[in-house]
Every structure is written in C-alpha cells, then in structure tokens.
C-alpha cells in the first residue's frame, strides 16, 4: 500500500507538472496519465483472463516437475549406490573365488608334479630292471655259448685223442660211449 502511494506521488511530480498549461495530472493530455491508464488496463486484462493464475499454475507445475526430477535423481542415486555396493560385493566375491582357484591350481600342479616324479622314478626303475634283465640274459647267453664251444672243442679234442689211441675195431664202440657220456653231461 505504501508503495502505491509512493508511486502516485512520483507520477504526480513528473514532467507534465512542469509543462506549460497546467492541466493537472489526471488530464488526458498528460502522457504520464495515459501511460498509467494503459498500464492499469493491461494489468486488468491480465487479471480478467486469469493470466497470473495461469502463470502461477505453470510455475507450480514447473516446481512440481523440478521436485519430481529431484525425487527421481535421489531414487536413481540410491539405486546407483546399491548397484555400486552390489558391484563391490561381487568384486570381492570374484576376487575370493579367483584366489581359491589359484590356490587349487597350485595344489593340483604340485600334486601332478609329485605324481609325475613318482611315475618317472617308476619308469626309470622299470628301465633299469629291463636293462639288468637284458644284461643277465646276454650274460647267460654268452656263458651258454662259451660252454657250448668248450663242449664242442672238448668233444673234438676227445675224438682226436681217442682216434689216435683206439684201434680200428674199438673206435666205433669208444666213440659211441664218449658221445653218450657227453650227451648225458649236457642234459
């Protein structure tokens, strides 16, 4: 209310009062008065068509939209925090699982290495045994071959000795006896 009175006082002390011909402020010849009337008419038209209510409604809608946007932003933020917490929790779980997998892999690798060492030792033992068996077999074959040659050489030597000592008639009987004797000893 005080502002309105101050506005009226200011308008009344305008250049129209200083103009020649004192018609007063409320004269249609005073431009300030005409501007005031036009302004009040414009305000009246705005009030008649309920523009302030429309503007207020639009501002209320805008405020409500902003409020909804803020609520949505809060909800999205909380949801993002939940997702981030879930991600962190899942990350810890995955790290724990990865550590367990690495530990299991190490244990399995050590077990496989131990098994491979045992298998290698068994394989080496089998090969050594096979080599020793081959050596023993070769040794027995060599001994048998030497014995067979010795027997053959002794039979030949005995045959020559007997041939020289025995006469013609006794030769065949002595040879037969010697062959039987050698055959008995070999078997």
Residue 12 and residue 96 in one domain: no
Domain that includes residue 138, residue range = 52-148
Same domain, 80 and 112: yes
Asked if residue 115 belongs to a domain, the reply is: yes
**pLDDT tens profile 87-132:** 999 999 999 999 999 999 999 999 999 999 999 999 999 999 999 9
| 117 and 33 both lie in a single domain | no
C-alpha dist (Å) from residue 138 to 105, 115, 146 = 48, 34, 12
pLDDT number for residue 16: 46
Model confidence at 73, in pLDDT bands (50, 70, 90)? very high
Sign of the CA dihedral with 165 first, then 167, 173, and 179 last = positive
Q: 60 falls in which pLDDT band (50, 70, 90)? A: very high
In a domain, 139, yes or no: yes
Q: What's the total number of domains in the chain? A: 2
Same domain, 123 and 76: yes
Local structure of 45: helix, strand or coil: helix
pLDDT digits (tens, 9 = 90+) for 121-179: 999 999 999 999 999 999 888 888 888 888 888 877 777 776 666 655 555 666 677 77
Q: Is residue 180 part of a domain?
A: no
Nearest CA-CA partner of 156 in 178, 186, 185: 178
Q: Are residues 45 and 66 in the same domain?
A: no
């Amino acid at each position: 209310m005080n502002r309105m009175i101050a506005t009226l006082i200011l308008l009344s002390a305008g250049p129209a009062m200083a103009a020649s011909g004192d018609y007063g402020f409320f004269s249609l010849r005073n431009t300030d008065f005409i501007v005031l009337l036009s302004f009040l008419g414009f305000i009246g038209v705005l009030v008649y068509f309920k523009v302030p209510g429309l503007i207020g409604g639009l501002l209320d809608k805008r405020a409500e939209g902003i409020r909804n946007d803020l609520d949505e932003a809060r909800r999205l933020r909380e949801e993002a925090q939940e997702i981030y917490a879930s991600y962190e929790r899942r990350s810890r779980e995955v790290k724990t699982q990865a550590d367990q997998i690495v530990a299991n892999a190490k244990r399995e690798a050590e077990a496989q290495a131990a098994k491979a060492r045992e298998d290698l030792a068994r394989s080496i033992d089998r090969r050594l045994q096979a080599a020793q068996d081959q050596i023993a077999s070769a040794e027995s074959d060599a001994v048998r071959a030497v014995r067979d040659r010795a027997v053959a050489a002794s039979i030949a030597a005995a045959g020559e000795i007997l041939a020289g000592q025995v006469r013609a008639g006794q030769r065949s009987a002595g040879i037969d006896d010697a062959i039987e004797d050698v055959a008995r000893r070999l078997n």
